[in-house]
A and B are shown apart, each in its own frame.
Chain A
């Protein structure tokens, strides 16, 4: 029983991280039809924002020593600023390009960011202890220790999703974003500013990336210049599985990918356990073929048919 609970909690916390990252990708895809490969690097940069930009082998703490509230705010601000700069320098000039060109553009941006990190911080992994106490606190549930951190990740994810829903449903900006995501031209003809809505999407996406990077950093305690890439890859396939352009789909997809990988990890016989990711990625191709619109049919798509 205890083992079972542990597997479930781990699955949900992994799914939560994927869901948060997938939301960041899904938001941009919704508004801009951009598949942002650089989202993983936004996550990486959030973690690197914690230390002094220096080439040496050790991490010199910077933002990491701030008061927790200030630390969170600073990280979010830094990543949001990077997301906005990316929008301005790369994605705004490419706005009317095809989805494929945008995808290549974000791929190039991702490559540039990763190598900039190597230039500034060196390519070596650096260990950075952040709030490791969270991983040490454990509860005893029917004889099995349950760590606090996974529970915290799940809680943070739920809170952020609730806030995002409130924002999209209850605020005029949110309504504008939903309108633009469905029919950008029409929204513009009603005076919705394209630059504003797109920048807003980048702000939200960047803020989500910053939160993911903090949670992920606390979990791993190591900084590498490619730490965000696996998160991006899984989050990206999560948005495909869930249904591109649907935020609910991103969340469901993220959870699905997290839960499926955790369950495969726990349930597969040891000799094929290593091939877990093969199954997860194979799932994407399957979904693309059988249900190209994703698990969650976005409302817009359903009602237009």
Chain B
């Protein structure tokens, strides 16, 4: 499967050759960057509508959904490019979230809850944006260490390895009382993450993921995904490229974790377990694992569905009687949707393709769009 990137390049090259189709440099750029541009516009519209017309609960839901979207884009950077299924990325989210707490909680709270921090950390407080980036970097650093071990494995063994990684991090944080409050709730994170912040971060990581996927490094990782032996023979450093995509994706997911911490203001280790792993993986699978459009679309579809089913759980009036879906019903719905997609549309809603520039009867763009490989 030499999918999206090849089609993308084929389309891009002629657009420079045939100047008739080029409508000036701005439009050309927009067209070349269409998938992240398109999704940025979509997200902007969603945010504007919800902020304008949605209830407070709905706005909260939106922020939560955007955080998950960011995690899924991070997952896509690794899974989509390397082809290895990861069950461990929520571990990076947890690392990022707690790292944010170490930086931004006020010194009083820190002394009370997490006295194990070094003195400098205990007494200082760092700005929000700095803490998000530093948290991402910490997650990336841990990914570098763990990945240099895990990425030597391939296929199902690597997936099992990432699962073990999640379990290691989870049980470690659950017991690391002086730094994480262990099984208790860590409170006191300043709440900074609103819809606009999340929108900005989502747009940035979407463009970042798109750039990475099209870069030399992303292409090498994809080559190793499609045929490990052949790409090794062609001189691709398979372990190195996988490791790079692992680190980049951990950086994104780690930042999402920090934003998550600054959204809720409280943290429990328990929330970074298998259920969250499942939901984010389901988003990626439903959308299509091997394209950015798939990751974003999957996140949007599942979040919307989740919210709609939540309304059903709250219940609605049918001729005087309250009809409601019992608790757990929406999770069942999402799980079944994921199974249906796995069984009937294994490449996800987007069939692993990017969504390309659809306007102006551009012949080359059309061939690129209809080309399925």
Contact = CB atoms under 8 A, between A and B. Distances in A.
B327 interface: yes
A35 B156 contact: yes
Contacts of B274: 229
Contact of B281 (A104, A236, A289): A104
Interface string A225-246: 0000100010011001000000
Given A101-B342, A103-B156, A285-B161, A123 B327 contact: yes
A131 B323 CA distance: 40
A278 B171 contact: yes
Given A240-B160, A278-B175, A119 B329 contact: yes
A184 interface: no
Nearest to A287: B164
A288 B157 contact: yes
A280 to B, nearest CB: 8
A292 B154 CA distance: 11
Interface in B289-332: 326-329, 331-332
Contact of A116 (B164, B282, B328): B328
B171 A277 contact: yes
Interface stretch (B92-100, B145-153, B241-249, B252-260): B145-153
Which of B150, B152, B282, B336 is most buried by chain A, counting CB atoms within 10 A of its CB?
A: B336
Which of B164, B327, B332 is most buried by chain A, counting CB atoms within 10 A of its CB?
A: B164
Given A104-B342, A108-B339, A275-B172, A55 B326 contact: yes
A116 B332 CA distance: 6
B159 interface: yes
B275 interface: yes
A281 interface: yes
Nearest to B277: A107
A290 to B, nearest CB: 11
Nearest to A37: B274
A107 B278 contact: yes
Nearest to B339: A108
A85 interface: no
Interface string B340-351: 001100100000
B54 to A, nearest CB: 26
A288 B282 contact: no
A292 B278 contact: no
A115 interface: yes
Contact of A123 (B150, B167, B328): B328
A260 interface: no
B285 interface: yes
B102 interface: no
A275 B175 contact: yes
B223 interface: no
Interface stretch (A68-76, A91-99, A146-154): A91-99
Which of B155, B156, B275, B329 is most buried by chain A, counting CB atoms within 10 A of its CB?
A: B156
Contacts of A112: 331-332, 335-336, 339
B281 A107 contact: yes
A82 interface: no
A6 interface: no
A119 B282 contact: no
Interface string A107-140: 1110110111111101100000000000000000
Interface string B72-87: 0000000000001101
Contacts of B168: 278, 281-282, 285
Contact of A119 (B171, B285, B332, B336): B332
A178 to B, nearest CB: 22
Please classify how large the interface on chain A is, using the bins under 10, 10 to 19, 20 to 34, 35 or more.
35 or more
Interface string A250-266: 00000000000000000
Contacts of A104: 85, 281, 285, 338, 342
Contacts of A278: 168, 171-172, 175
B148 to A, nearest CB: 11
A288 B328 contact: no
B165 interface: yes
Which of A122, A282, A288 is most buried by chain B, counting CB atoms within 10 A of its CB?
A: A288
B328 A115 contact: yes
B295 to A, nearest CB: 15
Contacts of A155: none
A90 B340 CA distance: 9
A44 B156 CA distance: 26
Contacts of A289: 149, 152-153
A22 interface: no
A120 B331 CA distance: 13
Contacts of B285: 104
A274 interface: yes
Contact of A237 (B159, B164, B328, B342): B164
Given A108-B339, A278-B175, A97 B346 contact: yes
Nearest to B327: A118
Given A100-B85, A115-B331, A285-B150, A94 B326 contact: no
B342 A292 contact: no
Interface of A: 35, 55, 90, 93-94, 97, 99-101, 103-105, 107-109, 111-112, 114-120, 122-123, 229, 233, 236-237, 240, 274-275, 277-278, 281-282, 284-285, 288-289, 292
9 contacts: A100-B159, A103-B156, A104-B285, A109-B335, A112-B336, A282-B164, A284-B164, A285-B161, A288-B157
Given A104-B85, A281-B168, 9 more contacts: A108-B335, A108-B342, A109-B339, A114-B331, A116-B332, A118-B326, A118-B327, A274-B175, A285-B161
